[in-house]
């Protein structure tokens, strides 16, 4: 299902993301704000450079304009001053001329009499009247030009350069430019924010999707973006989500399989326990009932043979009955041992294996057998003791049937938390035949029921090797 910011859990909405080198230790700065600030700084820098160039050009232009206007004014009034005394008193003639002349651009004209009193000053300019540029700006832009004076008979004419109107024009131009830039900057920033919001919307959706993945909602899918870069990211996200969903399904199936296997092992362990209990009962019944009956038959046959007198046929029949009964008794004892090894009833695993080794040496003197024991192998628990004993029995049976060996080594080792049994021969070491494979499968199942492992195969130095490892529950199998 496509993930959108609106579908995100309320508790996860607005959660701050890990910061990668943000500004300061406070709240992380968003990418949109970073780009807006960067563009603002670049625009401000451009404006400052533009203002510096503009102010430099305007300052030069004002200086040139004021200088030219002052030069023309000086030439004009200089000519007027030379002729002012020809038609009458110079101060009166010049004052009359100046009042008729009025305001001269970019200059202030003052006329002083012989006593130094001001007789005339140029009227103020009507252009942008009563307005002045700010004092710092005026000081920056006003050219440093000196006033020019003329001495007349009985008067003094002073021409002072006045750049205030030109400076005010420059200030107005500068103000208009800054206002225009501010309007452009606001429009640009708003447009940029709207564009970035639209452009980065897939990133917000991606963050929501990642948050849902972090909460285990692997069915989350993102809609494709028209932008190729975002499309690649969303496609990658969808592939990862699909892989995680498949992995989750496989994990669930694995859990179900493991639970079923554990249940099967528990049932199998219960069945094995029942089988062992039934074996024990059958062994006891055979030993008690059939063993006693066979013993009674032997006693009766012996008694008949002793009291038969001259009846040779009866004596012979009684002897035959005795032999058959003895053979039957031996068979019963063998079955009893296979059903439930009597040695395990009276001794621990190490002693039981010692007894097996003694019987082996008596019955198979041509095949050497050694038994090595390390660690305390007593008090292992009935299940572990019986499993290890059965594995050794099965391995020795396989040696007799398939190995053609001359030597067999049995190692029994108890270490921290583990019981190990190894049966190694120097026989053929070939792949196990079908009958032996069934026996190995039974041994592996017996080991798996107890949480252990069984490995069987050709040994590197030759022959065949069966290795059993069983975990020990130290609480249930304390050392003596």
**pLDDT tens digit sequence for 199-217:** 888 888 888 888 888 888 8
Please, which residues bridge with residue 118 across strands?
Answer: 112
pLDDT band at 390 (very low <50, low <70, confident <90, very high): confident
The reply to whether 320 and 370 lie within a common domain is no
Using H for helix, E for strand and C for coil, what is the string for 407-444? Answer: EEEEEEEEECCEEEEEEEECCCCCCCCHHHHHHHHHHH
pTM to 2 decimal places: 0.45
Report yes or no on 194 lying in a domain: yes
* Mean pLDDT across 249-269: 80
The reply to whether 469 and 371 lie within a common domain is yes
CB burial of 364-394 (b: ≥16 within 10 Å; e: otherwise) equals: eeebebebebeeebbebbebbbbbbbbbbbb
Strands (E), 290-377: 368-374
450: three-class secondary structure by DSSP: coil
Single out the residue of 359, 363, 298, 368 nearest to residue 326, CA to CA.
Answer: 298
Q: Quick one: pLDDT at residue 57?
A: 92
Single out the residue of 200, 181, 191, 183 nearest to residue 42, CA to CA.
Answer: 181
pLDDT band at 339 (very low <50, low <70, confident <90, very high): low
pLDDT of residue 480 exceeding 50 = no
458: three-class secondary structure by DSSP: strand
- The percentage of residues in the chain with a pLDDT greater than 70, rounded to a whole number, is 76
Query: Can you give the residue range of the structural domain that contains 322?
Result: 226-340
* Mean pLDDT across 189-200: 86
Please, which residues bridge with residue 27 across strands?
Answer: none
70, with CB counted inside 10 A (0-12, 13-18, 19+), is: buried
Report yes or no on 35 lying in a domain: yes
Report yes or no on 38 lying in a domain: yes
C-beta contacts of 164-167 below 8 A and 24+ residues apart: 164/125, 164/132, 164/133, 164/138, 165/105, 165/106, 165/125, 165/127, 165/128, 166/62, 166/65, 166/66, 166/106, 167/62, 167/133, 167/137, 167/138, 167/141, 167/142
pLDDT band at 338 (very low <50, low <70, confident <90, very high): low
pLDDT band at 17 (very low <50, low <70, confident <90, very high): very low
**Among the ranges given (28-37, 52-61, 151-160), the one the predictor scored with the smallest mean pLDDT:** 28-37
Residue finishing a domain among 306, 340, 374: 340
The reply to whether 50 and 104 lie within a common domain is yes
The chain-wide mean pLDDT, for the chain, equals: 79
pLDDT band at 363 (very low <50, low <70, confident <90, very high): confident
Report yes or no on 295 lying in a domain: yes
The reply to whether 171 and 302 lie within a common domain is no
Residue finishing a domain among 322, 340, 358: 340
The reply to whether 139 and 188 lie within a common domain is yes
Report yes or no on 78 lying in a domain: yes
- Is the model more confident about 315 or about 238? 238
Phi first, then psi: what are they for 20, rounded to 5°? -110, 85
The reply to whether 315 and 369 lie within a common domain is no
pLDDT of residue 115 exceeding 80 = yes
Would you say 329 and 293 are in contact if contact means Cβ atoms under 8 Å apart?
no
278-329 pLDDT tens trace: 666 666 666 566 666 767 776 777 776 666 554 666 667 767 777 777 777 6
Report yes or no on 9 lying in a domain: no
Domain with residue 403: its CATH number is 3.30.565.10
Q: Quick one: pLDDT at residue 77?
A: 84
Count of structural domains, the chain: 3
As a whole number of angstroms, the distance between CA 255 and CA 245 comes to 15
As a whole number of angstroms, the distance between CA 211 and CA 10 comes to 12
* Mean pLDDT across 104-122: 88
Phi first, then psi: what are they for 445, rounded to 5°? -65, -40
The reply to whether 231 and 323 lie within a common domain is yes
Hey, what are 276's tokens?
């062992």
pLDDT band at 459 (very low <50, low <70, confident <90, very high): confident
The reply to whether 335 and 373 lie within a common domain is no
The reply to whether 369 and 392 lie within a common domain is yes
408-446 pLDDT tens trace: 999 999 888 889 999 999 888 765 565 556 677 778 887
Phi first, then psi: what are they for 402, rounded to 5°? -125, -20
pLDDT band at 183 (very low <50, low <70, confident <90, very high): very high
CA dist 411 to 151, 352, 357, 420, Å? 136, 13, 12, 8
Report yes or no on 11 lying in a domain: no
pLDDT of residue 274 exceeding 80 = no
The reply to whether 37 and 173 lie within a common domain is yes
Q: What is the DSSP string of 163-231?
A: -HHHHHHHHHHHHHHHHHHHHHHHHHHHHHHHHHHHHTHHHHHHHHHHHHHHTT-TT-BPPPPSSHHHH
Report yes or no on 108 lying in a domain: yes
Give 16's contacts (C-beta < 8 A, 6+ positions apart).
27, 28
Q: Quick one: pLDDT at residue 15?
A: 47
pLDDT of residue 35 exceeding 50 = yes
The reply to whether 149 and 294 lie within a common domain is no
- Is the model more confident about 151 or about 305? 151
C-beta contacts of 249-254 below 8 A and 24+ residues apart: none
Residue finishing a domain among 315, 340, 365: 340
The reply to whether 107 and 177 lie within a common domain is yes
């Amino acid at each position: 299902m496509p993930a959108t910011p609106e579908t995100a859990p309320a508790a996860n909405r607005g959660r701050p993301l890990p910061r990668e080198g943000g500004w300061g230790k406070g709240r992380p700065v968003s990418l949109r704000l970073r780009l807006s600030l960067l563009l603002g700084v670049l625009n401000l820098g451009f404006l400052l450079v533009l203002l510096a160039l503009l102010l430099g050009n305007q300052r030069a232009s004002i200086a040139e304009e004021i200088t030219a206007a002052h030069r023309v004014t000086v030439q004009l009034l200089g000519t007027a001053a030379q002729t002012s005394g020809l038609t009458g008193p110079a101060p009166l003639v010049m004052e009359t001329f100046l009042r008729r002349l009025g305001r001269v651009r970019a200059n202030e004209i003052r006329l002083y009499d012989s006593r130094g009193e001001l007789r005339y000053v140029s009227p103020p300019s009507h252009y942008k009247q009563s307005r002045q540029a700010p004092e710092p700006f005026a000081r920056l832009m006003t050219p440093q030009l000196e006033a020019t004076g003329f001495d007349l008979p009985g008067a003094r004419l002073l021409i002072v350069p006045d750049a205030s109107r030109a400076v005010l024009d420059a200030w107005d131009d500068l103000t208009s430019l800054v206002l225009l830039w501010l309007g452009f900057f606001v429009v640009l920033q708003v447009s940029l924010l709207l564009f970035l919001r639209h452009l980065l919307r897939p990133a917000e959706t991606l963050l929501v999707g990642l948050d849902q993945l972090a909460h285990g909602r692997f069915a989350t899918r993102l809609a494709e973006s028209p932008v190729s870069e975002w499309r690649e990211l969303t496609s990658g996200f969808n592939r990862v989500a699909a892989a995680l969903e498949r992995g989750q399904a496989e994990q669930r199936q694995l859990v179900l399989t493991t639970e079923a296997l554990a249940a099967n092992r528990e049932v199998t362990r219960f069945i094995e326990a029942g089988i062992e209990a039934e074996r024990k009962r059958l062994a006891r019944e055979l030993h008690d009932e059939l063993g006693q009956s066979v013993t009674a038959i032997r006693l009766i046959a012996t008694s008949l043979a002793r009291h038969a007198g001259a009846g040779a046929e009866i004596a012979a029949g009684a002897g035959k009955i005795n032999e058959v009964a003895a053979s039957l008794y031996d068979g019963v004892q063998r079955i009893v041992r296979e059903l439930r090894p009597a040695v395990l009833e009276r001794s621990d695993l190490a002693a039981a294996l010692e007894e097996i080794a003694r019987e082996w040496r008596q019955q198979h003197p041509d095949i050497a057998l050694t038994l090595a024991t390390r660690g305390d192998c007593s008090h292992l628990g009935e299940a572990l003791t019986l499993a290890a004993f059965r594995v050794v029995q099965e391995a020795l049976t396989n040696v007799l049937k398939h190995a053609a060996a001359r030597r067999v080594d049995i190692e029994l080792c108890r270490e921290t938390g583990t019981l190990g049994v190894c049966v190694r021969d120097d026989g053929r070491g070939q792949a196990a035949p079908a009958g032996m494979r069934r026996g190995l499968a039974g041994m592996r199942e017996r080991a798996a029921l107890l949480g252990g492992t069984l490995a069987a195969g050709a040994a590197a130095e030759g022959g065949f090797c069966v290795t059993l490892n069983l975990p020990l529950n130290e609480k249930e199998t304390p050392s003596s």
